[in-house]
Each structure stands twice: as C-alpha cells, then as structure tokens.
Amino acid sequence: MRSVSDTAGTTPTKSERISAADVSKVATLARLSLTDDELTTATAELGAMLDHFADIDALDLDGVEPMMQPTPLANVMRDDIPGETLDRDEVLGQAPLAEDDRFRVPPIIGIEE
Amino acid sequence: MSDMGELHSAVDIASHVRNGEAKAADVVEQHLARIADRDGEINAFNLVLTDAARARAADIDAMVTAGHDPGPLAGVPVALKDNMCTRGIPTTCSSKILADWAPPYDATVVTRLRDAGAIFVGKTNLDEFAMGSSTENSAFGPTRNPLDTTRVPGGSSGGSAAAVAADFAPVSLGSDTGGSIRQPAALCGVVGVKPTYGAVSRLGLIAFGSSLDQIGPFTTNLRDAAVALEAISGHDPGDSTSIQQGPLELAPALERGVEGLRVGRITDLPSGASPDVEERLEVAFEALRAAGAEIIDVAVPAFGYGLTAYYLIAPAEASSNLARFDGVRFGMRTAAPDTNSMYTATRTDGFGAEVKRRIMLGTYALSAGYYDAYYGRAQKVRRLISNDFKAAYAKVDVLLTPASPTVAFEIGDKASDPLAMYLCDTYTIPSNLTGDPGMSVPFGTGEHGLPVGVQVLAPALQDDVMFQAAATLERHMQSDEPQSGEPQSDEPQGTEPRNVSPS
C-alpha cells in the first residue's frame, strides 16, 4: 500500500500518458483557452496525476459492475402536476443579458471575416 | 445585553431564546461583534448579512413574545457555505464567474434552517466551486485558521470551519465531496459531519460531483451537530437522490454509550499520517475500549485506491456540472462576436486555475478513447471499495481513522503541488465513494499544539451509531480536562505509532 506522502513535493517528470496536443484538444472540448505557458504547466500536472493514478492499472476488474452512485434509487419520478416555478423576471434579471423575456446571446453562427 | 452572559452552544442559545430568558437580538449582536472584530484577519466570510440578521433576530424575539415557538434552532446564528443558494443574496462559489449572481430560489437546507428558527449571519469562503483542501483557491483570498493565522483552515469548507472555530456562529453548513467538511473540521478543532449520501437534500447546492456531494454541519460539540443535522435532513421531493425517509434521529444516540460496540481498526490503512495524528488515533481506540467497546482488526484492501477513483470520478462529474457556466444564464459574460468564442472567453476569464485543471482532467477522463481506461475503470474500483467496506461492516459497527494525515499546514505549503494537496483527502474520500456517513471529532492536539480530528465512519443510514461512538470520544476529552475529578482510567497505554510511513 502506498503512502500518503509518496508523491508530495516531487517535481513532475515528463509523462508518457498525455501530450501537449492531448491537453490542447481537451481544453478546446471544455471551452477553455490556454496560453503556451499554461499548456506546458497543465501538461506536466495532468501527466503527473495520470502517472499517480496508474495504481489501478494492475487491478483485475473483469466482471466488476461499475458503480455510478451510492443509493439504490433509480429513475425517481413524480406525478405530472403543474406547480410553482421560478419567477421569470427574477431569473432573467440575473442573466448577463436579457431581452424580450429571453436570454440574449451573440450570433450562434460565426461571423465571417 | 442579556443578564445571561454570552451563550455559545446552539442548544443553549435555542433553549434560552425559546423560553424568553435570552434575546435573539443580543445573541446576534455578540456574534456580529466578534465577526467585526476578527474576520478582517480570518476572512471566513464572503458576505456578512448584518442587517438581515438583525431584522430576523427581531422577528424571532417578537415570535417568542407573542407566545409562538420559533423552533429547535431559535435564534441560533448560522453561517452558510457560499455554494448554497440564498434567494436574492449573492451566492458566488468563491468564483469570479458567479461573483455578481444572486439566486432566484433558496436551497432546501436554507428553508429548513429558517423554519427551525435559525438566523443567517453570512456566506462563507471556500475553495472555488469546493475544489481544494485549504481554502486558498478562492477568488476572494484565502481563509486563515483562527487557531494559527499563518496556517490554512483546511478546505474546501474552510470558511465554515473557521467561522465556528472563531465563535462567529455556533453552527455552519459545509458540503463534502471528498472530505471538504471533515478535513477542515479536523484542522480547526471542531465537529464536522458528512451524513449518509441522500440524507440531506442537495436542492440548491451548486453541484460539484453529483454522486458524491453531501451537505453537513460544523459545530463545537456533538449535541449541536445532532440538532442541526436533524433539522436539515429528511426526504425532499425536489432532489431525486434524496432518500425517502424522515429526518435522522441522532440526539438519543449521544447517551447510549459504547458497551459492546464493535469498533474496527483498519489493518491496511494507507500509511503516512504523521506520528502525532497516529498517536491520537491510538488514544481514541483506547478511550473506546475503556468505555466498553470491542476493538476488532479488519481489512479494507481497496481503501488506498480511493484517491485514484475519486480524482477520476469527481473531476469527470465536475466537468459535466460546470458546463452550465457559459455566460448565458447566470454570472459573468466576456463579450465575443459569436456564442462559441463567448463561451470560451467567459470560462477562461471566470474560472481559476484549480477549477480549470479539474475540468480538463475530467474532460480527458470522459473523452472518446480514454473513457474505458479512466472513468470506466474508476467506477469499477468504486465498486471494489464499496464491497470492501460492506464486508468490513459485517464485522464491525464503526471504523476509526485519522480525518486528516496532518495538523493544519502553513498557507502556501502545498499551493503549487496539486497532487500533494489531493493527498490530504486520502482518509476521507472512501466514504464519499461508498455514500456512507463519516465525521471528524476534535480529539486533542498534535504538533505545534494544533488540533487533531479522529474520523468515525459507519455504514449508510447508521449515522446515529456514528454519533454514538463519537459521543464517547467527546466525553473522553471532557473528562480529560485537568480540572476534572474523574479518574484518568483511560489514559493511553502502549501507544507507539504504527504503520508510519518511512518517508
């Protein structure tokens, strides 16, 4: 069993598990933009984490049922009865931009150069 | 000021306010004065609700005068972690992205506390979106540990733990996804409870890891924790993960004692807790044994894989939950010519470094080609851990572990090493994965005279048994006071630290 202090304070070395290109792709998927420096740092940090998480690689998990959540509850339904809802003006009043009882956003289709 | 002098515990305050012997207005003024005096240094609060608390105290006093009972928390000042929605009152998650947002509704816990007569004194600081173990990752600056302001209060509910430790409020609420109530409770020397998953409604708790998050109280003593948790627990149709049963019943368990209770010592616990923490854990085992409990060795072989499972599952869930912060419906927006670039600009400006790190880790763990290798495998490991705990709980009623591997560390110590920070959660994570309850009980001091917390764990829905064992530890500490005339029959014997990491 590994120790709580195994990796504390060690400098991450370059990991084989994730490349800067992978991190760049992940950032795009997550709608985040990284500077070159941030990309370098994130690649090292995520690599160090994935190296640490390799402790489960050796486990034989064939036939183990994945556990999504801890309760025995599934598909909790309620009767379809209209009830009180949030106040529209109160909700829209907290939006960055609203107009005509709707959320206002910039053009959905990109502007051509 | 009242003739009663100052009341400090929630139970004392409520009983005196209910029978008219104390005024809620006085109680609130005493707490607001301490906040005004010291929170500039501690930074436990993102927002102090001075005027609202005074107005509410006047209402409570008027109710009592009119012959009505305000409830079991009558006049009790309560601090709320700033990831719990309060209608019309800013709720920021200590993030720039929500800095100006005021929710259009109250979290169920807020409604229930108000119905029980509580008075909200403020919204407390946290690691942004509850991601961290030190409350250093806040857009509004770190919270400091009231017991030593050069040190962290733990996290992510560090503001709530510090608020109770500094006597700013006798009760605060935190949320615990991987230890975020128990670890700061340990570091600040207060009680912190993560109840069974689903025992407390999460409606209005801004989601981090939905299969892991649970709300619970911080207090200075177990009786207050029991009353607070009884008030906020119980089924809520507004939360589909809410267990379909009434409120937890905890107060009676405090008097039960531990005669014949089976207390488990985990033989294969990950090593590396510091010797002072290990020593206090040994004293805790001895205290329970002296009080009549049976100490039984059990194995939980998958315990040590919890960290990996958690740090793949929690960020995966977070990356999905935090997708809603896109500059459209709430919070800030960074202007850009089209929606896609607006989403990216808003999120890049609005989220801090740790939140971005976890979103990227989670997005990676869920992405095509890596899902099976990371997220899928983590869910299977989660099952192994759950099975191991079930097997252990066939032999014992509760388990004891450290709550935190060390006492409070210095501000900045782990700030540049995310993995070192994650290891703070080693002992608390498994019960989030399994959904079982866990709590930290203050149990003396370790290095530098700083508090040590012992973690009591129990099977799902056995929160009362957890309180039962914890109460014996609390009584031990009370009887351990030097001025006490009690015989010190339960002094530690042969407490050499075991299983200490060679590093």
Bridge-partner residues for B263, per DSSP?
B295, B398
Q: How big is the CA angle at B138 (ends B135 and B140), to the nearest 5 degrees?
A: 120
Residue predicted with more confidence, A88 or B488: A88
Arithmetic mean of pLDDT, B464-487:
79
Residue B180 appears among annotated catalytic residues: yes
Whether A26 has its CB under 8 Å from any CB of chain B: the answer is: yes
Sign of the CA dihedral running B64, B66, B67, B69 = negative
Q: What is the pLDDT of residue B503?
A: 32
Arithmetic mean of pLDDT, B406-435:
94
The full 3-state SS of B313-333, as one line of letters, equals HHHHHHHHHHHHCCCCCCCCC
User: Given a cut of 70, is residue B407 above it in pLDDT?
Assistant: yes
Least confident of A98-112, B65-79, B387-401, B443-457: A98-112
Arithmetic mean of pLDDT, B139-156:
98
Q: What is the pLDDT of residue B497?
A: 36
Residue with structure tokens 């500094």?
A: B166
Residue predicted with more confidence, B28 or B3: B28
Selecting from B272, B380, B502 the residue whose C-beta is nearest the C-beta of A66 gives: B380
Q: What is the pLDDT of residue A10?
A: 41
Selecting from A3, A22, A65 the residue whose C-beta is nearest the C-beta of B501 gives: A3
Least confident of A13-22, B151-160, B342-351: A13-22
* Mean of per-residue pLDDT scores for chain B: 94
List of chain B residues whose C-beta atoms are within 8 Å of the C-beta of residue A78:
237
Residue B15 appears among annotated catalytic residues: no
Residue B210 appears among annotated catalytic residues: no
Subunit contact B360:A96, Cβ cutoff 8 A? no
Q: How big is the CA angle at A90 (ends A87 and A92), to the nearest 5 degrees?
A: 105
Alpha-carbon gap: B285 to the closest alpha carbon of chain A (Å): 22
Arithmetic mean of pLDDT, B54-72:
98
Mind listing the pLDDT tens digit for each residue in B177-235? 999 999 999 999 999 999 999 999 999 999 999 999 999 999 999 999 999 999 999 99
Arithmetic mean of pLDDT, B1-6:
57
Q: What is the pLDDT of residue A112?
A: 53
pLDDT band at A11 (very low <50, low <70, confident <90, very high): very low
Phi, psi angles (nearest 5°) of residue B227? -65, -45
Subunit contact A64:B305, Cβ cutoff 8 A? no
Q: What is the pLDDT of residue B6?
A: 87
Helix (H/G/I), strand (E/B), else coil: B231? helix
Subunit contact B414:A8, Cβ cutoff 8 A? yes
Query: Domain A9-58 belongs to what topology?
Result: Histone, subunit A (1.10.20)
Arithmetic mean of pLDDT, B98-124:
97
Mind listing the pLDDT tens digit for each residue in B283-294? 999 999 999 999
Q: What is the pLDDT of residue A6?
A: 46
Subunit contact B361:A108, Cβ cutoff 8 A? no
pLDDT band at A13 (very low <50, low <70, confident <90, very high): low
Q: What is the pLDDT of residue A15?
A: 73
Subunit contact B435:A71, Cβ cutoff 8 A? yes
Phi, psi angles (nearest 5°) of residue B125? -70, 155
Q: What is the pLDDT of residue B501?
A: 36
Phi, psi angles (nearest 5°) of residue B20? 80, 5
Alpha-carbon gap: B260 to the closest alpha carbon of chain A (Å): 29
Q: What is the pLDDT of residue B25?
A: 98
Kindly list the domain boundaries of chain A, sorted by start residue. Answer: 9-58
pLDDT band at A74 (very low <50, low <70, confident <90, very high): confident
Mind listing the pLDDT tens digit for each residue in B245-304? 999 999 999 999 999 999 999 999 999 899 999 999 999 999 999 999 999 999 999 999
Phi, psi angles (nearest 5°) of residue A89? -65, -35
pLDDT band at B165 (very low <50, low <70, confident <90, very high): very high
pLDDT band at B2 (very low <50, low <70, confident <90, very high): very low
User: Given a cut of 50, is residue A2 above it in pLDDT?
Assistant: no
List of chain A residues whose C-beta atoms are within 8 Å of the C-beta of residue B405:
4-5
CA distances (Å), origin A31, targets B4, B206, B285? 57, 20, 50
* Mean of per-residue pLDDT scores for chain A: 86
Arithmetic mean of pLDDT, B398-407:
98
- What structural domains does chain B harbor? 10-251+261-308+376-479 (3.90.1300.10)
Phi, psi angles (nearest 5°) of residue B133? -130, 20
pLDDT band at A78 (very low <50, low <70, confident <90, very high): confident
Q: What is the pLDDT of residue B374?
A: 95
User: Given a cut of 50, is residue B108 above it in pLDDT?
Assistant: yes
Mind listing the pLDDT tens digit for each residue in A24-43? 999 999 999 999 999 999 99
Q: What is the pLDDT of residue B350?
A: 98
Bridge-partner residues for B176, per DSSP?
B214
Selecting from A27, A66, A96 the residue whose C-beta is nearest the C-beta of B376 gives: A66
Selecting from A66, A76, A103 the residue whose C-beta is nearest the C-beta of B329 gives: A103
Contacts of A77 (CB under 8 A, 6+ apart): none
Mind listing the pLDDT tens digit for each residue in A81-97? 998 999 999 999 999 99
Cis peptide, bond prior to residue B156, ω within 30 of zero: yes
Q: What is the pLDDT of residue A73?
A: 82
Alpha-carbon gap: B448 to the closest alpha carbon of chain A (Å): 20
Phi, psi angles (nearest 5°) of residue A52? -65, -40
Residue predicted with more confidence, B249 or A110: B249
Alpha-carbon gap: A23 to the closest alpha carbon of chain B (Å): 8
Nearest residue on chain A to B240, alpha-carbon basis: A76
Phi, psi angles (nearest 5°) of residue B338? -140, 170
User: Given a cut of 60, is residue B381 above it in pLDDT?
Assistant: yes
CA distances (Å), origin A65, targets A69, B5, B372, B387? 12, 58, 13, 11
